[in-house]
Each structure stands twice: as C-alpha cells, then as structure tokens.
Amino acid sequence: MAGRAALDPNGDRMTTATMIAFAAAEAEHHGNVALETFWYGAVALVVFAFLGIVTLSYRNVANRHAPKAEAYARTHPAPTREGHGH
C-alpha cells in the first residue's frame, strides 16, 4: 500500500488515531478469550500426562532384568585395557 491512504468503511481517509480507534472497536467484538484458549491448555495437559506415564513405565527396568545381566556378566568377563591398541 505504498503511497495509498487507508480508507475507512465510508471511503474517507483515515488518520492514525482513527485507525487505532477502529482497531480497538473491532477488538471488542471477541468473546471470552480465556474460554477460547482453554483447549490449548487442555491438550497440553493431556500430552504431558501421556508423556509422564510413558516415562514412569520405564521405572525400575534395570532391576527387572537383573538375573539376565548377572548371567551375561559371568559368561562375558569385563574387558581389560590390554590388547586394545590404545
């Protein structure tokens, strides 16, 4: 809109003050903003709760397989630093 003046609904030229007043009048027609944005928080709560449950499902996993780990450690001794070429 370079070089063109903003026009109000009646076709008249709008000053900056008129444009601000017009924008403020348009902004007043919205409903309850807290109610409109409620669902963003609700979806975020559900997603984080799901991720928390997934995280808790891995709790104590190492202890569930302790007999397997001990049997593997007995058959495969721990590597030594010798013979690795470092």
Residues 41, 18 within the same domain: no
38 & 7 share domain: no
Residue 43 and residue 70 in one domain? yes
Tell me, yes or no, whether 40 and 10 share the same domain: no
**Domain range enclosing 3:** 1-30
Give this prediction's pTM: 0.44
Dump pLDDT digits (tens) for 39-78.
Answer: 999 999 999 999 999 999 988 777 777 788 788 888 888 7
Residues 17 and 48 in one domain: no
49 and 67 share one domain:
yes
Which residue's entry shows tokens 């609700």?
42
Say whether both 37 and 68 belong to one domain. yes
Q: What is the DSSP letter of 13?
A: B
CA torsion 4-8-12-16 (nearest 10°) is -70
